[in-house]
Amino acid sequence: MTETRTGRPRILRAAERTAAPWSNGGGVTREVAVHPPGSGWDGFDWRVSLADVTRDGPYSPLTGVRRILTVVEGAGTELTVDGRTHLLTGRLRPFSFPGDAVTEGRLTAGPIVNLNVMLRDGRAAATVETVRGTRPVPAAPGNGPDARRGGPVVLVVALEGPTRLAGAAEPARLERFDAALFAGEGADGSGPCPAPWELHTDGVAALITLTPAAQR
């Protein structure tokens, strides 16, 4: 990844991600960040990705994983989760459901892009917010001078319009689907990011706070 410096967030550029096709042919997924770094499907505590969904179909079962799905582009989707239907026609509204539920997706009016947060039960929890305008980046222990390995982290993903991050080090600019990872020393190799930092967006950004289960 590029632009890693001590004292500033790790910048994760959308252009550097690799698209992984789904086994059912219904779309592709691009991983934004995962912990522990480099973890596969069986080993992650949390995983954040963006998925291009191009047709209706079932979701792969993920036993022991909680999913938070946010439609960030397109008209929306209808999810049937264990027989109950949820109409997700409003963009930028996070929806949480168990990964091991029998889930079917039906596009309401063409392809969509989803922001997906996956959390291993008993290992991690998360909040997902959509931000417009200016917002302080939460000063979780993972972001400050008392950072410790495996502490909370904050991930900012630019969804619409440019996003600027201003703080104790050189500012960072995010374009569409770029991300910035604020993490404690050792969590991503970039060193601590001293507070305060502020998020400024001309459009919409996602603010994701990821917390190890032991620190909830």
pTM: 0.87
Q: Can you spell out the DSSP letters for 75-106?
A: S-EEEEETTEEEEE-STT--EEEETTS-EEEE
Superfamily (CATH H level) for 122-215: Jelly Rolls (2.60.120.10)
What local confidence, expressed as pLDDT, does residue 140 receive? 53
pLDDT of residue 30: 97
For the record, the structure tokens of 191 come out as 């060193």
CATH 3.40.50.2300 is the classification of domain 18-120: no
Q: What are the extents of the domains in the chain? A: 18-120, 122-215
Beta bridge partners of 34: 47
Give the other-Cβ count within 10 Å of 143's Cβ. 26
18-120 and 122-215 share one CATH topology?
yes
Calculate the dihedral angle through the C-alpha atoms of 168, 8, 174, 67, rounding to the nearest 10 degrees.
-120
> Average pLDDT of each block of 10 consecutive residues along the chain (216 residues)?
56 96 86 93 94 93 96 95 92 93 95 97 95 86 43 91 85 94 56 74 95 72
Predicted confidence at residue 138, as pLDDT, reads 84
CB 70 within 8 A of CB 79: no
85, burial (CB in 10 Å: exposed 0-12, middle 13-18, buried 19+): exposed
